[in-house]
Amino acid sequence: MSRKSLSRRTLLRGVLQGSAVSVALPLLDGFLNSNGTALASEAPLPLRFGTWFWGCGMTPERWNPQREGSHFELPAELQALSAHRDQFNVLSGFNVHLDGRPNQVHSSGVVGTLTGNAPSVPDEFASPSLDVLVADAIGSGNRFRSLEAAASGDPRHSYSRRSSSVINAAEVSPVGLYQRIFGAGFQDPNARDFQPDPKLMMRRSVLSAVKEDRQRLERQLSAADRVRLDQYFTAVRQAEQQLNIMLSEPQPLASCQVPGMPEVSDTDTDIEVVDRNHRQLAGLMALAVACDQTRVFNMVYSPGASNLRRAGSTANHHQLTHEESVDPALGYQPRATWFVERSMAAFATYLDILKAIPEGDGSLLDNCLLLAHSETSLAKTHDVSGLPLILVGRAGGRVRTGLHVKGRGDAVTRVGLTVQQLMGLPVSRWGTRSMQTDRPVSEVLA
Amino acid sequence: MKGPIVVKHYFTGLIIVLLLARSSLVLALADGSLAEERKQRGYVLTDFRLVTPGAGPGDCPDGFNEGYSQRFLNALPEAERQSYLENPRRLQQALAPWYYDDPEQDPCASPGNFPDPGMLTIDGPLMLQRMEPDGSLSQRRSLPSACPVIGADLKERAIDNQYWRVMGCVRGYQPTGQAAAFANSFIADGSMTVLLQITPVTGEVDENDLVEVLLASSHTPVTLGTDGRPLPWASIPLAEEVRYHNRVRGTLRDGVLITDHFDLHIIKAAQRLDSELYLRDARLRLEIDSATGKASGLLAGYWDIGSLAHAAIRIQDRTGLSSGKPAADTHGYTCPGKYYAVKRLADGHPDPGTGECTSISVIHSLHAVPAFVIERKAP
C-alpha cells in the first residue's frame, strides 16, 4: 500500500482567540519515504557512529569463530551476543603493527586501532582518534559533537582524544550524563513550544563581539602563541556552533523520548555496580542519539588493563589475566574468561537498548555503526595481534552484517578506514608506516 | 704435432676431473648430505624461552612462594584481611610505592640493600636436563650443583639448569603461568629478533665439519605470516652494535651443531622492557631438519648474576623505572628473596677474591626458521 508522503515541516494550523496558531507534529511514518529509510523530503535518516570498549581482550581460542563468511558458530566468549547474531560482523586477525616500536602495554592496541599509528610512548595520540575524525565530519551540526561515558567510574577512562593532551572526558554517573544531555540547554524536539534561551543568545553575542579583538591580538603574537590561541578559539568556535544549534528550533523526532532523571548511584569497580551503571548510561546514551543530541557516542565498559573485580576478591580482571594459571583441563583461564563473558553480556545489553528504539522501518541500531574493541587479544601476553573487533549495525543499509571476516594479519587500520568511508569521510588511505592502508574491509560493504 | 696432443690430454684430464667431481658430489649427497652441510645457512629465531619444566610432586614440599600482596594479607588478622579483600585499592595503597624514583629504596633495583625474606626453591634431588662437556644432552636425577672451587675449569663440567631450581616454586613460572605465556610473544611482537648464521670454515681440510657460528641480535622485527608466525626466508640485517654479534666456532655433523664455549650478549627486549641477556661460557646445540630447513635446540650457559639482577629482578623499563615489584607480585615472589636464592644456588665463575659464584646455570630452548642474514659491511 502506498503511503502519502508528508513534509517534515507539516504543522497543525488553526485559529485561537482570533490569532493564527500552529502546532508541530512528531516524526510520523508519513514523514518517511516508502522504504522508511529516509525522510519524505529525501533527506536520509542520520548516520551515527559509536564505539564500545572493554579492557583485557579475550581468549583467542574461545573468541575467534572457526569458519569465515556467514555460516560461523559463535564461540563461548561471544555466546552472549547470540540474539544479535545477524546484526554484527566479527573481525578477527587484524593486528596493530608495532614496526619496531615497543609494545606499550594496554595502550598500543587501542591507540593503534583508533589512530592508525603505533604509539612510541604510552597513550600517544599523534592524530585524533577515529571517533573524533568521524565527529568532525558528521557531528558538528549537533548539540554535542560527541558524547563519552565510562561505566567503570573514572572520567579518564575515555579513548576519545583529539591529541595526547586533549581528552574528551567521560561522564561516569548516570545522573551526570542525564543532566548533561537532558538538563539545562536541552530542547525537546517533540515539544512544540520552542523558545530561544535569552542567556544563550547573550553568550553567542559575547563571542561574536570579541571576534575583531581576537584578530587584532593574533597579529601581535608569536607563531607558538598563535597555535595555542588557535586551539583555544577552535574550542570557542565549537561553542559558538553549539549555541547556534541550541538557538535553532529542533526537528521533531518520533524516536526521541525524554527519560526521567535516573537515581543517584555509586561508582565502583565491582562488576555488578559497573553493570548497573552501564545499563543506565547506555539507556541515556541511546536516547541522546535518538533525540539527535549527538551522532557520535563512545562508551567504555572497562578500561584497558581492566580494573573490574568480583565482590570479595582483590584480584581484578587485569591481575587475573597475568596471575591465574591456565587450567590444564580447560586450556584457558576460567576466572579471567568470566570477565570477558560478562563484558560481552553487557555489550549485548547495550545492543538490546539501541535496538529497542524504533526508527524508520527498523531500529536506531540499524542507522548506527558501532565498533566494539579492546586493547589486546590475549591480555596475558599483552598481544596486539588478532585484536577482537565487532562491527555492529547496518549504518543505514551501507553495511552487510552476520559475517566473520578474517584479517589474516592485516593492519587494523583497514577497519578504521572502512569506518571512515562508511561515515562518508573523503579518505582513501589511512594509517602510518606499515599500517598505512588503502584497503577497506570490502566484505562488509553492502 | 705436440700441440694437439697436449690439448687432447688437457681435455681428457678435464673430463676425468668433472666426472670425479660429479661422482663425489652424488656420493656426498647420498651418504648424509655432506655437501649440504658445507654451505652457509642463516636463521631467525621463532621461539626462545627458558626451560621451565614445571614443579613435580614433592619438588616444592612447602608450597609455592607468595608475592607482596599475598604476604601482606597473610600477615594480617582475619578481620583486618577482609577489609583489604573488599577494597583492592586500599591493598594497592598499603603496598605502595610500586615504582620507586630512588633505586636505592627499591627492593627490586637494589635487592642486596634489603634482608632476605626467604624464597622457597627446589633444593632436593631433581630430574633435570643438562648439557654434558661433549655437547650431548643428558637427564638425570641429581642434587643442586655446588659452586666450584676457584680455578676449576667450567668447560669440564656439565651445564646444569640451577635457575630452574630458583624459580621452580614460583607460580608464574609453571608451564601454565605468566612466564611461559610471555616467553615467545616478544619475538612475534617485534620486541626481540635474534639471528643465527652458520658458515663452513674453509681451508682447514681435516675439519670438514668445522663451522663458524654467529648468534646476533637485530633491530628489525620478524615478518609475520598470515598465521601470525615468523615467515622463513626473510632478509634481516644484524644490529649495528658489534657487542651483539657473538661469534664462536663449532662442528656441524649429521645435522647437529655443537659450539664451543662462548660469552653471549643479546638484546632481550620485551614490550616496554629493555634489557640484555649476558651468558658466560655458553654453548649452543642445534639440530637441523634437512627436510624442513628448520632448526631447534638448546642454549646452555651461565647467567651473570649482575645481568640477571638487572634483567630479571630489577626489570628495567624503557623509561628507566624498575618494574620489578609489580612483576614479582604478579609471578608470586619477592625481589630480595629471588636475589638471595640466585646467589645461594649460583654454580658458575667463582669470584677469585671471595670464592662466591657470580653466575648461575640456565638453559634456554630455541626454534628457528631459515632467513637471509644481512651483514652490513663497514664503509
pLDDT higher than 60, residue A29: no
d(CA A378, CA A376): 6
Residues of B at the A interface (Cβ-Cβ below 8 Å)?
69, 73, 84-86, 88-89, 91, 171-172, 174, 176-178, 181-182, 185, 188-191, 219-221, 224-228, 269, 271-272, 274, 318, 330, 332
What contacts A39, CB < 8 A, 6 or more positions away? Answer: A8, A31, A32, A33, A45
pLDDT higher than 60, residue A35: no
- Confidence class of residue A235 from pLDDT cuts 50, 70 and 90? low
Q: What is the DSSP letter of A45?
A: P
d(CA A435, CA A125): 15
- Do the Cβ atoms of B172 and A326 come within 8 Å? no
Summarised one tens digit per residue, pLDDT across range A3-22 is 444 444 444 444 444 444 44
Spell out the alpha helix ranges (H) of chain B: 2-30, 34-37, 68-74, 78-85, 88-94, 162-167, 178-183, 185-188, 305-308, 324-331, 335-345
d(CA A138, CA A407): 28
pLDDT higher than 60, residue A378: yes
- Do the Cβ atoms of A102 and B224 come within 8 Å? no
pLDDT higher than 60, residue A274: yes
A-chain residues near B191 (CB < 8 A): 98, 102-103
pTM of the full structure = 0.80
Q: Which of A328-342, A384-398, B148-162, B177-191 has the lowest mean pLDDT?
A: B177-191
| Distance from the A311 Cα atom to the nearest Cα atom in chain B, whole angstroms | 7
Mean pLDDT to the nearest integer, B129-140: 95
Report residue A380: phi and psi, to 5°.
-55, -35
| Distance from the A290 Cα atom to the nearest Cα atom in chain B, whole angstroms | 38
Looking at this protein, which amino acid is placed at residue B294? Answer: K
- Do the Cβ atoms of B185 and A381 come within 8 Å? yes
Mean pLDDT to the nearest integer, B272-291: 93
- Do the Cβ atoms of B191 and A383 come within 8 Å? no
Lookup result for grid cell 656420493: B27
pLDDT higher than 50, residue B9: no
The predicted pLDDT at position A110 comes to 98
**Across the interface, which of B73, B181, B274 has its CB nearest the CB of A381?**
B181
The predicted pLDDT at position B30 comes to 40
CB A294 within 8 A of CB A146: yes
Mean pLDDT to the nearest integer, A315-333: 92
Report residue A320: phi and psi, to 5°.
-60, -35
Chain B contact probe: residue of A154, A266, A314 with most B CBs at under 10 A = A314
The predicted pLDDT at position B268 comes to 87
- Do the Cβ atoms of B318 and A326 come within 8 Å? no
pLDDT higher than 60, residue B203: yes
Stretch (H or E) spanning A321: helix A317-323
pLDDT higher than 80, residue B150: yes
d(CA A159, CA A165): 11
**Across the interface, which of B91, B172, B190 has its CB nearest the CB of A314?**
B91
Chain B contact probe: residue of A68, A269, A307, A381 with most B CBs at under 10 A = A381
Cell numbers of B72, please?
601482606
What contacts B150, CB < 8 A, 6 or more positions away? Answer: B350, B351, B352, B355
| Distance from the B113 Cα atom to the nearest Cα atom in chain A, whole angstroms | 27
**Across the interface, which of B88, B228, B272 has its CB nearest the CB of A385?**
B228
| Distance from the B311 Cα atom to the nearest Cα atom in chain A, whole angstroms | 16
* N-terminal to C-terminal alpha carbon distance within chain B: 55
Q: Give the start-end residues of each E strand in chain B.
A: 41-50, 126-131, 137-142, 193-200, 210-218, 234-237, 245-253, 256-259, 262-267, 276-288, 295-304, 348-350, 357-374
The predicted pLDDT at position B348 comes to 97
Mean pLDDT to the nearest integer, A296-317: 92
Mean pLDDT to the nearest integer, B60-69: 96
- Do the Cβ atoms of A322 and B178 come within 8 Å? yes
